[in-house]
Every structure is written in structure tokens, then in C-alpha cells.
Amino acid sequence: MIIIQKWEYLFVSFTSGEHGWKPSYINGEEIEYGSDLPSIYDFSNLRGEEGWELVSYEPIVESKSLNLNFETKYINILQSIRTVFKRPKE
């Protein structure tokens, strides 16, 4: 008999504010932003204690153009970081 490992996933987006990078969406649900939320580092370690493993992250970047002295310059601004955690399903 073949036993197939099943997984559950946790999708978390982090945004930066006056108190650093904090979780803003968990599995598509917006969470209230505040200074009492854990940092991206603390959040990841707390999930690790619960058996979650960070398996992917993606920086979400917005490009903007600036017209300076008749020359166009482009800048990239990091908007958010999307992460995926997984753990074995029980």
C-alpha cells in the first residue's frame, strides 16, 4: 500500500509600514494592521513552532517612471512580500 503525504498550505502577504514588515493578508483574508502584529521574522518563527515550513516567497514590485530633465528614469518600489508555508496534514 502506498501512503501519499498530504499537505496544508498557508498563504501570507506582508506589507511595510511605520512598524516594519507585518502580515496583512492570511489565506486571502485581510487582517487589521497594527504595531501589535509580529514582524515577518517573528511571524515566520512562530509558524515554524507550529510545524509550518516557509517554502516560497515572492517580492511584489511596482515600477514607476520619473521624468527628470527630459529623461525618463524608472524606479522599482517593493510593495509587499507574498509567502507560502506548508506542513503535513494530519
Q: Where are the domains of the chain?
A: 7-88
What does pLDDT average to over the chain? Answer: 91
pLDDT tens-digit profile of 28-66? 999 986 678 999 999 999 999 999 999 999 999 998 888
What is the predicted pLDDT for the residue at 29?
95
What is the predicted pLDDT for the residue at 34?
67
> What residues form DSSP beta bridges with 56?
84
Q: Give the position of cell 515572492.
A: 58
Task: Please tell me whether the overall predicted TM-score, pTM, comes out greater than 0.85 for this model.
Answer: no
Stated length of the chain: 90
Q: Residue 74's pLDDT band (boundaries 50, 70, 90)?
A: confident
d(CA 20, CA 36): 11
